[in-house]
């Protein structure tokens, strides 16, 4: 089998990998549940390539993400649920329907108006799906409400942001960033109180969760994407720690052979280096 620019070749490759008799033993064993974590990981790697403005890597990562869609579609096809062409049809139908100002007779000259069309039609689609699922007796009925539709499968930071944004649409929100900052200090105090009281791990975990939720809220109020902010800080930490390792290597040592005081001094020195 040869590589191709045609997506149908990727579908054929996945079918071959999943063949019970001649396929790859690892691929044959996989399920929706075992593949799902890879799907999330690949989406993050796409975002990372974009953050680095690395077009070569982005091409590869988009291919990996596309593979995930083909993989899940193949698993569904084996169950007799749907196949990859059905996935393509579903998304093309959705995009045409949600852009009546492009593919229909509606008019939208500004991005805000276009987003309004999108949100209105999206809400209609969700209501239709909810009704269809309830009628078919599929899964638990979705509770109607402001927070309905915020998927539980998305990364926690992203989901926290979505929940807060939804709640804010009905006025359940802080008035300004300083009020959120005060809430953040309150959550820090509660974590400290649990630590000083020798609380069990579960209670401390819950308080740390509240603290993280407040941090996401602060990021939202100052217009910072919490995922991107943390991604940037992770990269900064890696650069600075690498500078510590490089400085110690010049003396023939590793971080494990240095004191915390020594590494802290090197860290402060690394903070003064220009960011690249």
Q: What is the pLDDT at residue 104?
A: 82
% of the chain with per-residue pLDDT over 70: 97
Q: What is the pLDDT at residue 139?
A: 62
Helix axes 177-196, 201-221, angle to 10 degrees: 170
Q: What is the pLDDT of residues 14-60, one digit of tens each?
A: 999 999 999 999 999 999 999 998 998 999 899 889 988 999 999 99
Q: What is the pLDDT at residue 22?
A: 96
d(CA 134, CA 98): 24
Q: Tell me, letter by letter, the H, E, C secondary structure of 145-189.
A: CCCCCCCCCCCHHHHHHHHHHHHHCCCCCCCCHHHHHHHHHHHHH
Asked if the model's pLDDT at residue 200 lies above 80, the reply is yes
d(CA 77, CA 11): 11
Q: Which residue has the higher pLDDT, 147 or 118?
A: 147
Phi, psi (rounded to 5 degrees) for 249 = -60, -30
Q: What is the pLDDT at residue 142?
A: 60
Band of pLDDT at residue 113, cut at 50, 70 and 90: confident
Q: What is the pLDDT at residue 141?
A: 58
Q: What is the pLDDT at residue 133?
A: 73
Q: What is the pLDDT of residues 237-265, one digit of tens each?
A: 999 999 999 999 999 999 999 999 999 99
Residue pair 35/68 in contact by the 8 Å Cβ criterion: yes
Question: Following DSSP, what letter does each residue of 104-158 receive, concatenated?
Answer: SS----SHHHHHHHHHHHHHHHHHHHHHHHHHHT-SSPPPPSTTTT--TTS-HHH
Band of pLDDT at residue 1, cut at 50, 70 and 90: confident
Mean pLDDT, residues 144-159 taken together = 83
Mean pLDDT, residues 143-156 taken together = 80
- Among residues 217, 209, 230, the alpha carbon closest in space to that of 178 is found at 217
Q: Which domains does the chain have, with CATH numbers?
A: 7-136 (1.10.287.1080), 156-271 (1.10.287.1080)
Phi, psi (rounded to 5 degrees) for 58 = -60, -40
Residue pair 240/248 in contact by the 8 Å Cβ criterion: no
Q: Which DSSP letter does residue 198 get? A: T
Band of pLDDT at residue 155, cut at 50, 70 and 90: confident
Asked if the model's pLDDT at residue 227 lies above 80, the reply is yes
Asked if the model's pLDDT at residue 276 lies above 60, the reply is no
CA 166 to chain centre: 17
């Amino acid at each position: 089998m040869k590589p191709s620019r045609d997506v149908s070749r990727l579908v054929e490759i996945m079918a071959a990998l999943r063949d019970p008799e001649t396929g790859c033993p690892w691929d044959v064993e996989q399920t929706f549940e075992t593949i799902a974590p890879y799907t999330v990981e690949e989406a993050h790697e796409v975002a990372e390539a974009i953050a680095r403005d690395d077009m070569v890597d982005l091409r590869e990562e988009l291919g990996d993400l596309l593979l995930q869609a083909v993989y899940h579609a193949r698993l569904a096809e084996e169950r007799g649920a749907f196949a990859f062409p059905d996935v393509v049809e579903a998304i093309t139908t959705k995009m045409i329907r949600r852009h009546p100002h492009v593919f229909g007779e509606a008019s939208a000259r500004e991005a805000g108006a276009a987003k309004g069309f999108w949100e209105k039609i999206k809400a209609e689609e969700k209501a239709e799906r909810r009704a269809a699922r309830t009628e078919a007796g599929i899964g638990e009925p979705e509770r109607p409400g402001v927070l309905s539709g915020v998927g539980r499968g998305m990364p926690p930071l992203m989901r926290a942001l979505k929940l807060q944004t939804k709640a804010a649409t009905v006025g359940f929100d802080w008035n300004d960033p300083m009020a959120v900052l005060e809430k953040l200090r309150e959550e820090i105090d509660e974590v400290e109180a649990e630590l000083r009281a020798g609380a069990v791990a579960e209670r401390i975990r819950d308080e740390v969760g509240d603290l993280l939720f407040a941090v996401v809220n602060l990021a939202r109020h100052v217009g910072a994407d919490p995922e991107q902010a943390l991604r940037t800080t992770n990269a900064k930490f890696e650069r600075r720690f690498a500078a510590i390792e490089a400085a110690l290597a010049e003396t023939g040592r590793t971080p494990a052979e240095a004191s915390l005081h020594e590494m802290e001094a090197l860290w402060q020195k690394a903070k003064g280096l220009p960011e690249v």
